[in-house]
Amino acid sequence: MPRRIILATIFVAALSSLSFAATLPQIAAGPGGSYLIKSDGTLWAWGDYAGRVTPVKMEGVSDLVAISAGDGHSITLKKDGTVWAWGNNADGQLGNGTKANDYFPTPVQVSSLSDIKAVAAGNRHSLALKSDGTLWAWGNNLEGQLGNGTKVNAAAVVQVSGLSDVAAVAAGMGHSLASRNDGTVWAWGYNDDGELGDGTRKAHLTPAQIPGLLDVRAIAAGSHHSLALKNDGTVWMWGGQASGGFGQSTTPRRVKGLSQIAAISAGGWYSLALKQDGTVWAWGVIADADQDDDSMNAIIKKPVQVHGLTNVVRVAAGMWHSLAIEKDGTTWAWGRNYSGALGDGTQANRASPVRASILDENGH
């Protein structure tokens, strides 16, 4: 019997920042779980977040417009511009001013934040973009990923130094990204694999502009790699795996074979791209779909189409699984499913997309 392979990652990272300007349902894929914000502002979860193999409505939050899933914690944005978080808080990544309790199972409000328009959750740190274009951070800072010039963890929000007119944010394992309204991209934090795109492997405690990367309209951060989508529909990649093999590229390189791209998402060691025609494309590390361990077999160097998906409007790359939403609100999932992250009522891995057992955005 031939082996089935699925795109896989070794660590979940935040997607490109999400903003309440969008009215479509929002999705997020984490280490072993998934989230969906329906158009009515309710939040649904499945997999290890909910302890369920089918979606369940999360209580305690409403009127939501954006969601981002990190490694052990998640953050969400309400329509009123406030930010709420839950999960692991050992490094202060929930932003409630304390690390007294290691874990919060229900959402708590992030203190001293208002008028927020986008959020991003990394490994153990979080980012929030205010409507005035300033950027704020909290949580783990051992790699300088908070961007305030120190390596001190912060249980309360701190301002990212030297950035204004920010348009979007993204958070990886130990690095952070921001794009400005002028199309430039800025990076800081961990850089051993070239995540910061400046041609070095030196960490930065404050944001530094990525040289030569211009005209960018979307960004995404994986575990150790980064993505940028330009206004011309091309995708650029740097960091771990960005050279198209098991090596790293410390400067942005264009991803060959991709054009007319509308959206991007970065997982741990793989990436997704949504084309303007509604098709989904993927590349990166692949794993055996018949195994439940973290073994990795090969890498897909050139993007391949994810078959069976049409009219897609959202994509999300998680640890071992991926999500997509079609225009009619149908949610699809594929990849590893040992925790029920696919939401299809089973724990069977899927090498091709299956429909999640979630009601569509109209409740049907």
- Cβ neighbors of 340 (< 8 A, separation 6 or more) are 33, 46, 47, 48, 52, 53, 54, 346, 347
- Cβ neighbors of 100 (< 8 A, separation 6 or more) are none
Per-residue pLDDT, 228: 98
Per-residue pLDDT, 102: 83
Per-residue pLDDT, 19: 41
Torsion angles phi and psi, residue 80, rounded to 5: -80, 5
Q: Comparing C-alpha atoms, which of 333, 242, 232, 214 is closest to residue 276?
A: 232
Per-residue pLDDT, 181: 98
CB atoms within 10 A of CB 300: 15
Per-residue pLDDT, 29: 96
Report the relative pairing of strands 350-355 and 331-335 from DSSP bridges. antiparallel
Please list the pLDDT of the chain residue by residue as tens digits (364 residues). Answer: 344 434 433 333 333 444 433 467 999 999 889 999 999 999 999 998 778 999 999 998 999 999 999 999 999 999 999 999 999 999 999 999 988 778 899 999 999 999 999 999 999 999 999 999 999 999 999 999 999 999 999 999 999 999 999 999 999 999 999 999 999 999 999 999 999 999 999 999 999 999 999 999 999 999 999 999 999 999 999 998 665 554 579 999 999 999 999 999 999 889 999 999 999 999 998 655 555 555 555 688 899 999 999 999 999 999 889 999 999 999 999 998 989 999 999 999 999 999 998 655 444 4
Please state which of the four CATH numbers 1.10.8.60, 3.40.50.920, 2.30.29.30, 2.130.10.30 is assigned to the domain occupying 5-355. 2.130.10.30
Q: For the whole model, what pTM was predicted?
A: 0.91
Per-residue pLDDT, 4: 43
| CA terminus-to-terminus distance, the chain | 38
Per-residue pLDDT, 325: 96
